[in-house]
Structure 1
């Protein structure tokens, strides 16, 4: 439409020139006006094309934005679904966490019971050891060694003090020492007592004693029977065992070392059934 309105004045100018209706000056003015109108028309056409191009680009951008909005909406729906699933899982997880906390608390309580039992046992062991060492004379202590190792009291009695030479019979001089040990054992009735015989590696063969196994077992049995019969220790708490020559403290290279290996140990331990009872109280495992 704009181009059509501009072409009409141009035709009029040509017609006027052809009929000689206007002067040269007037014609020049009309021609200048026509040129300006053509230039304006061209500028308007360019602006129109630019506007149409911008409108086309705007439509493309709008379409792209609409697609992005649609994608974001779909993403929001997916996120909401994931959130709902997470909330459901969290609810179940809270239940599992609560159970886990209960199990941890129960385990901690059980561990504390074990620690308390161990501390009590350690304290009693120290008291027992102190009472025994205070009751023994200086001379007796030269033949008796008392140690606490890993919660167990070991009373090691030398072979020379305890038995007659080459025999499993208790010597007379050992009576007083055994009596003091028996009193300690009786005072601590919650402990079990293992009597363990040990020898050196020198072979032995006598009537009723075939080897060091026999000798070590017979010597341990003699101590057990003395504790039971002479000192009235409850026999249910006593156990006798022989280790022969196979549990040496040192090598049997010389007489001094052999003498050290020939010993009888009185091993005092907390009653096993008490620990088994405590173990029985352990928290049960929860199945997943």
Structure 2
């Protein structure tokens, strides 16, 4: 998720939205996943660096082995301590190689899952204008960004028929992947807004998010316990609000597909158990 602090606007009170606590928990899970992925990549880099450092030790061990195989007399010069060090070094090298392989396999599996998910989403939305819908991967999660001109009339939170079509496709993907959680974010430009019961852009962004959540739940059967609705207002722009094009880009809805963090932990833990 892009840099910046998530702003949760108000508590959502309908059956299809969740509490501020649930939204915070989901954001914490995303941050934890991001941190764990970064930590894992650092550990993998450290393992690879350590492996380079022991290359000289490997050369030494090979030299000793060569002497042992080709000159039995060398055994008399190999002390008990050197023999023990040789055995420990070989075991340590073997264990380190297995750890590197485990970390690589976990990261490769995670990347493969994300690639398959993005491919299925783009395939389902293949006939949609790329200017209206964009699919991307950032920090281990998948983002579906939909322009508000595709979903709503200006200043409205009532979905049009075209929006129902694309949300139906997203719902089919979500229902086929019950291990994913969904975060629906409403975004606006910075033009002041007030109409009827809506006080500002915060209110408008929340209403648009909850409108989408209700459709996913009521029309397409997505489990509401997997969905969080959030309004981000004007505070996470992707373009300058100084131009009409920039303001149009900022008026959008993002559906974030979040993998459960336990799955990545399990991949690593299972690999580590195999080392024992």
Task: Return the TM-score normalized by structure 1.
Answer: 0.59
Aligned mate of 1:120, from 112, 124, 136: 112
Match of residue 214 from structure 2: 225
- The CA distance in 2 between the partners of 1:163 and 1:126, in whole Å, is 25
Match of residue 30 from structure 2: none
Question: In the alignment, is residue 210 of structure 1 matched against residue 199 of structure 2?
Answer: yes
Aligned mate of 1:239, from 200, 222, 228: 228
Deviation track 1:18-50 (CA, whole Å, cap 9, x = no partner) reads xxxxxxxxxxxxxxxxxxxxxxxxxxxxxxxxx
Shift of 1:98: 4.0
- The CA distance in 1 between the partners of 2:215 and 2:231, in whole Å, is 16
Match of residue 38 from structure 2: none
Alignment of 1:155-174 (within 5 A): 155-174=144-163
Alignment of 1:69-88 (within 5 A): 87-88=79-80
Deviation track 1:186-222 (CA, whole Å, cap 9, x = no partner) reads 2333333221111111122345433323322332222
Taking CA–CA contacts closer than 8 Å with sequence separation of 6 or more, which of the two structures ends up with the larger relative contact order? 2
Answer yes or no: is the 8 Å Cα contact 2:186–2:209 preserved in 1: yes
Aligned mate of 1:131, from 106, 117, 123: 123
- The CA distance in 1 between the partners of 2:179 and 2:112, in whole Å, is 12
- The CA distance in 1 between the partners of 2:84 and 2:152, in whole Å, is 72
Deviation track 1:220-274 (CA, whole Å, cap 9, x = no partner) reads 2221221011111122332222222111111000222111100001122433221
CA 1:101 to 1:177, structure 2 compared with 1: closer, same or farther past 3 Å? Answer: same
**SS of equivalent residue, structure 2 residue 237:** coil
Deviation track 1:49-99 (CA, whole Å, cap 9, x = no partner) reads xxxxxxxxxxxxxxxxxxxxxxxxxxxxxxxxxxx9982432332343244
Match of residue 171 from structure 2: 182
Shift of 1:161: 2.3
Task: Return the TM-score normalized by structure 2.
Answer: 0.61
Match of residue 91 from structure 1: 83
**SS of equivalent residue, structure 2 residue 233:** coil
Kindly indicate which of the two structures has a greater share of residues assigned to helix.
1
Match of residue 268 from structure 1: 257
Answer yes or no: is the 8 Å Cα contact 1:199–1:244 preserved in 2: yes
Match of residue 6 from structure 2: none
Answer yes or no: is the 8 Å Cα contact 1:125–1:148 preserved in 2: no
- The CA distance in 2 between the partners of 1:217 and 1:157, in whole Å, is 15
CA 1:210 to 1:133, structure 2 compared with 1: closer, same or farther past 3 Å? Answer: same
Shift of 1:145: 2.5
Answer yes or no: is the 8 Å Cα contact 2:125–2:169 preserved in 1: no
- The CA distance in 1 between the partners of 2:204 and 2:268, in whole Å, is 37
